[in-house]
Structure 1
Amino acid sequence: MKTTFVVADDHPLVLEGVKGVLRAMDPDADILQATSYPDLLNVLSEDLDFSLVIADLNMPGMAGLDGIRAVQLKRPEVPMVIISATESQKAINKTLECGVAGYMFKSFSQQQMQDALEAVLQGETFVPQPGAQMFSSDEFEDKKKPDFGAAALNRLPMGVVIVDKGANVVFMNNAASDIFALNDGVDVGPSGVFRTAKVAETKMLHSMIADAAVDLGRANEEDREGGALTVSRPSYRRSFSLLVVPLPDEDVTSDSGNVAVFINDPEKHNEPPTNVLARLYGLTEAEARLLQALIVGKKLETVSEEFGVSMNTVRSHLKQVFRKTGTNRQPELVSLVMNSSAYLASNPVQVEDDYED
Structure 2
Amino acid sequence: MTEKPPVRIAFVDDDENLLSSHRRNFARLRPGWDAVYFNDPFIARDAISADPAIGVVILDIHMPGMSGLELAAELRTLRSDLIIVMLTGYADLQSALLAVNELGVFRFYPKPTNLQTILEGLEGEIAARQGHVEETLPTDFLDLFELGVVAIDDTLSILHMNAQAAELMRGSSLVRSSSQGRLIIEPVPDGLGGFLNPPSNMAPRDHQSYSVERDGEKLSVLVRRIPKKTAGTATFMVILVDPAKQKPPAIDDLMDLFGLTRSEAKLTQKLAEGLALDQAAELVGISHSSARTYLKTIFSKTGVNRQPQLMKTVLSSIPSLR
TM norm structure 1: 0.35
Larger Rg: 1 or 2? Answer: 1
Larger relative contact order (Cα-Cα within 8 Å, sequence gap ≥ 6): 2
